[in-house]
Chain A
């Protein structure tokens, strides 16, 4: 039964994964997402699942690959530097076409950076730190409820496309508490049913079928090129099918903000502040970050004089904003970094500066 509860973001994410049918989690401690690892260590065995505390994020992503090649529904979480360590695994798993759901409760960088929230993993998530032509499908929730709702969708997309899906949250969403409606639990797939549901999985041949092989190495150039083109076909299909975004107040807007995740919520308050001063401001909130909702930018009206990318980074998503605007509007950045949160007042001030109003 769906139930409305007050929960900390990280625990709600973990519970949502379990209710989506996830039974395998591999984690390594890193702040600000430890509540997920702790929750999974307590709860997974109760539902017949399995938790392993990995020796590193490198081991965790490879355990996740192992669990998923064996047909398990696998979820992993980490935070920015830990996600950096997993990049080789992401590339490998995309190449091997294995479903997986990844959550990044991101924090400020570069390097060890801070344990405070940040959005400076945008390039890491959407451009990838791994090698080769691959893409994660990336979604950015702006509330705990949205993250919870995205979780079961993420598993469905991961399994349908046989590609990892990343939810890019941040420390703010992970650490805050909100009322949230939890979905009804999905039945987990039993081990004996895996060969039917995932005929490609490594379940043992029972000497009754050809052996299943999961691979990433193709030494013949012709073979690898064909593989990459097949993967690219999938990515092009994703671009057509998986784009998601929200627009607010675009009609007649003088300034249009573009913001994702928790920053989008702060930006909504800036829109109200500007309205009090008689300035019409709108918002494009990309929900999918890869594929990016470039089509949303076609909805920016002629009345708009400035487009502003609001980020907790020094201008990463702004590259996509510029691609979306295609030179039609001046684009600028409104940003705080290092774990500092941007305020509605600061965003409103940046908007007035861009519009040339004091």
Chain B
């Protein structure tokens, strides 16, 4: 008999707390598939900060710790000093990384820390119930911007990948999306390259993953993917911003 589906090694057989249609599950799976394919599951250490993904350690079968809000890059910095030969990653949402944790992510990139950050950008605060994030789009309605985000009040949505790409120590920066099979394949390749950069000790690697939040956006799963494609991708262009020559 031909195997057509297998559970991903590295994903624990738990029922997740993520909402139906949320793309966290895909992102989790891609990371674990890459670690498995590169034979790195036993060497991986992950950091899961506050946000929906603080639950990630219930589903990822690698050593993990929870993090204070926004501080995962500082924690990964400490882990990396004690376990310099391991594969260290943070898995951070946009409220965590692009708001409360901007200091830590910028400074970790600035030091050229040799870990990988997977940045889940769904343009909203998920776990707290749909408040505006620095990444929320202009006109996007949230529980703290009922009439839609306004530039005059909240500024323009922040583009973290572009911001970090200006920093010398961030040597691999790519933005991907999880809205289609083709983009999911590209996302997996980016995550693989980010870990490769870390393994080679070249510097900080960063993958921004455009994701959905059906519950707080107020759309079903399919409409959420369309909304991501029609609204997020035009503002947050996909593609690689930086790759070191060693992994090209």
B30 to chain A, nearest CB (A): 18
Question: Is A230 an interface residue, CB under 8 A from the partner?
Answer: no
> Which residues of the partner chain A approach B41 to less than 8 Å between Cβ atoms?
205, 207
A167-226: which have CB < 8 Å to B?
191, 194, 202-208, 211-217
A50-102: which have CB < 8 Å to B?
50, 52, 54-56, 58-60, 62-72, 74, 88-89, 92, 96
Looking at the complex, which of B67-75, B130-138, B148-156 is the stretch in contact with chain A? B67-75
Question: Is B226 an interface residue, CB under 8 A from the partner?
Answer: no
Question: Is A24 an interface residue, CB under 8 A from the partner?
Answer: yes
What is the size category of the interface that chain B forms with chain A?
35 or more
Question: Is A26 an interface residue, CB under 8 A from the partner?
Answer: yes
- Decide if A66 touches B74 in the complex (CB within 8 Å): yes
Per-position 1/0 for B55-84, Cβ under 8 A of A: 001001111111110010011111111111
- In whole angstroms, what is the CA distance A66 to B84 when docked? 12
Partner of B82, one of A62, A70, A213: A70
- In whole angstroms, what is the CA distance A52 to B110 when docked? 13
- Decide if B45 touches A215 in the complex (CB within 8 Å): no
- Decide if A54 touches B82 in the complex (CB within 8 Å): no
Residue of A nearest to B113 (CB): A52
Central interface residue in B50, B63, B68, by most chain A CB within 10 Å: B63
B35 to chain A, nearest CB (A): 11
- In whole angstroms, what is the CA distance A208 to B41 when docked? 11
Known: A70-B79, A191-B83, A202-B83. Is A214-B74 also a contact (CB below 8 A)? Answer: no
- Decide if A207 touches B74 in the complex (CB within 8 Å): no
B99-123: which have CB < 8 Å to A?
103-104, 107, 111
Per-position 1/0 for B169-202, Cβ under 8 A of A: 0000000000000000000000000000000000
- Decide if A66 touches B103 in the complex (CB within 8 Å): no
> Which residues of the partner chain A approach B64 to less than 8 Å between Cβ atoms?
202, 211-214
A188 to chain B, nearest CB (A): 11
- Decide if A62 touches B42 in the complex (CB within 8 Å): no
> Which residues of the partner chain A approach B77 to less than 8 Å between Cβ atoms?
52, 59, 63, 66
- In whole angstroms, what is the CA distance A216 to B66 when docked? 7
Question: Is B44 an interface residue, CB under 8 A from the partner?
Answer: yes
> Which residues of the partner chain B approach A26 to less than 8 Å between Cβ atoms?
78
- In whole angstroms, what is the CA distance A116 to B65 when docked? 38
> Which residues of the partner chain A approach B71 to less than 8 Å between Cβ atoms?
58-59, 62, 89
- Decide if B107 touches A69 in the complex (CB within 8 Å): no
> Which residues of the partner chain B approach A212 to less than 8 Å between Cβ atoms?
63-64
- In whole angstroms, what is the CA distance A92 to B44 when docked? 23
- Decide if A72 touches B65 in the complex (CB within 8 Å): no
> Which residues of the partner chain A approach B103 to less than 8 Å between Cβ atoms?
55-56, 58-59
Known: A55-B107, A211-B63, A213-B64. Is A205-B42 also a contact (CB below 8 A)? Answer: yes
Interface majority SS (helix, strand, loop, mixed), chain A: mixed
A44 to chain B, nearest CB (A): 10
Known: A88-B68, A207-B41. Is A55-B54 also a contact (CB below 8 A)? Answer: no
- In whole angstroms, what is the CA distance A96 to B42 when docked? 23
Known: A71-B82, A204-B86, A205-B62. Is A217-B43 also a contact (CB below 8 A)? Answer: no
Residue of B nearest to A210 (CB): B61
Residue of B nearest to A24 (CB): B81
- Decide if B78 touches A213 in the complex (CB within 8 Å): no
- In whole angstroms, what is the CA distance A58 to B86 when docked? 25
- In whole angstroms, what is the CA distance A63 to B77 when docked? 6
- In whole angstroms, what is the CA distance A66 to B63 when docked? 13
- In whole angstroms, what is the CA distance A50 to B111 when docked? 14
- Decide if B104 touches A62 in the complex (CB within 8 Å): yes
- In whole angstroms, what is the CA distance A63 to B68 when docked? 11
B149 to chain A, nearest CB (A): 28
- In whole angstroms, what is the CA distance A65 to B72 when docked? 10
Partner of A55, one of B42, B45, B63, B104: B104
Per-position 1/0 for A30-59, Cβ under 8 A of B: 000000000000000000001010111011
- In whole angstroms, what is the CA distance A56 to B78 when docked? 14
- In whole angstroms, what is the CA distance A211 to B45 when docked? 10
> Which residues of the partner chain A approach B47 to less than 8 Å between Cβ atoms?
66
B151 to chain A, nearest CB (A): 29
A224 to chain B, nearest CB (A): 13
> Which residues of the partner chain A approach B54 to less than 8 Å between Cβ atoms?
217
Residue of A nearest to B68 (CB): A92
Residue of B nearest to A204 (CB): B43
- Decide if A215 touches B42 in the complex (CB within 8 Å): no
- Decide if B42 touches A204 in the complex (CB within 8 Å): yes
> Which residues of the partner chain B approach A71 to less than 8 Å between Cβ atoms?
82-83
- In whole angstroms, what is the CA distance A91 to B83 when docked? 24
A98 to chain B, nearest CB (A): 9
- Decide if A215 touches B75 in the complex (CB within 8 Å): no
Partner of A67, one of B62, B81, B104: B81
28 examples of A-B residue contacts, CB within 8 angstroms: A52-B81, A58-B71, A59-B74, A59-B77, A59-B103, A59-B107, A60-B74, A62-B78, A63-B75, A63-B77, A66-B76, A66-B78, A67-B78, A67-B79, A89-B68, A92-B68, A96-B66, A191-B83, A202-B45, A202-B65, A204-B83, A205-B62, A207-B42, A212-B64, A213-B64, A214-B64, A215-B66, A217-B50
Which A positions have Cβ atoms within 8 angstroms of B?
Answer: 24, 26, 50, 52, 54-56, 58-60, 62-72, 74, 88-89, 92, 96, 191, 194, 202-208, 211-217
Q: Which 10 A-B pairs have the closest CB atoms?
A: A66-B78, A67-B78, A66-B75, A72-B82, A70-B82, A62-B74, A214-B65, A62-B71, A55-B107, A63-B78
